[in-house]
Chain A
Amino acid sequence: MADEVLDAKGLNCPLPILKAKKALNSVPTDGTLEVLATDPGSVADFQAFCRTTGNDLVEHDQTGDVYRFLIKKTA
């Protein structure tokens, strides 16, 4: 179970990233944030976001139209 869950379904670029960044602020270091999104562009964007910020994209998958990202706050 993630420390925080962010429902970004229905939101378009760049809102899922902006809201994820905000949500990460309240996650403790080594804690996790789960993001749910429907924006297909978020798949590439969350990978780039994590590579650039140094956070860990532990897993991402897709169920129907919903993309799920599990981010571990390491930075």
Chain B
Amino acid sequence: MSVESKSMSIIVTKGSLDWGYPPFILATTAAAMGLNVTMFFTFYGLSLLLKEFNPQISTLGNTAMKLPMGGMHMSMPNMLSAIPGVDAAASVMMKNLIKKKGVASLEELREAAVDSEVRLIACQMTMDLFEYGLEDMIEGPELGGAATYIECATQSDINLFI
């Protein structure tokens, strides 16, 4: 392949349903296009590697968030997030939309990343901080720290922080 030597790294810092998509979409697509891909999971991004995986969206701070509903777009005021069950309901709505529109589930994309040999690094420091072990994670991630990432970044053509 013409780009066999190209590579990309992504720092994944967020673990909500909506923030989980961009890193996995880009990682799997780049791998399909022949790039060597490394994803470095830190802070809340770590939760995307958990076996027990139920990513949610929150209406809090999502000021531009609008979900299609009955031909209209319904905005989600921050205040709504304080009502118990609203974020869970919004997450269910989003997951139904995802299915209806033929969008891959995050689980599917995560599997595709593992299958296409994307290198997954779990940040050791945040693993300790949040009291996770590799046994909590899917098969595949290795442990590493900032220096591991920096070494990878110096060798990558594309470096993203998401």
Interface size class of A (residues with CB under 8 A): 10 to 19
Tell me whether A52 is interfacial, beta carbon within 8 Å. yes
> Hey, which chain A residues are within 8 Å of B25, CB to CB?
13-14
Q: Knowing A52-B3, A53-B1, A53-B2, say if A12 contacts B102 (CB, 8 Å).
A: yes
**Contact between chains at B33 and A53 (CB < 8 Å):** yes
Q: A residues near B, CB below 8 A?
A: 10-15, 17-18, 20-21, 39, 49, 52-54, 75
Interchain residue pairs A-B with the least CB separation, the first 6: A21-B32, A54-B2, A14-B29, A12-B102, A12-B103, A10-B102
Can you name 27 A-B pairs with beta carbons within 8 Å? A10-B102, A11-B104, A12-B101, A12-B102, A12-B103, A13-B103, A14-B29, A14-B104, A15-B102, A15-B103, A15-B104, A17-B29, A18-B29, A18-B112, A20-B32, A21-B33, A39-B102, A49-B32, A52-B3, A52-B33, A52-B34, A53-B2, A53-B3, A53-B34, A54-B1, A54-B2, A75-B1
